[in-house]
Amino acid sequence: QVQLVESGGGSVQAGGSLRLSCAVSGFTISGYWMGWFRQAPGKEREGVAVIYRDGRKYYDDSVKGRFTVSQDNAKNTLYLQMDSLKPEDTAMYYCAAKPYYGEYNVPRGPNAYRYWGQGTQVTVSS
């Protein structure tokens, strides 16, 4: 049974940090594109960061230099270190997985992803 379970969300003040985790069971993340997405109220779900085991990464321009995506294949877990948080980072954060089929380009859109977690809320106050 496939499960993606996010944790680490919470409420912080602007400038603070949070580290999100996504524990995966049912498949091995090393064979998948692993991504973090977020959705704020009234907005579409958007890609935040994506990673593949060979080191390819993608960051949305809004989080470059502040967020770091990583994965621990031994623990089958995805992480998102979020520093210098801003109020506009407030959203529900989801982890997602897409099977790797040899693509060169990093898949950025949420529709490409097959498996999803339930999300963890991040709230940043000014």
Q: Express each pLDDT in 52-79 by its tens digit.
A: 999 899 999 999 999 999 999 999 999 9
Burial class (CB in 10 A: 0-12, 13-18, 19+), 12: middle
Portion of the chain with pLDDT greater than 70, in percent? 100
What is the distance, to the nearest Å, from the Cα of residue 108 to the centroid of all Cα atoms in its chain? Answer: 11
Contact 125, 87 (CB under 8 A): yes
Of 62, 8, 60, the residue nearest 35 (C-alpha): 60
In the structure encoding, which two tokens stand for residue 113, read together? Answer: 């992803």
DSSP, res 116: E
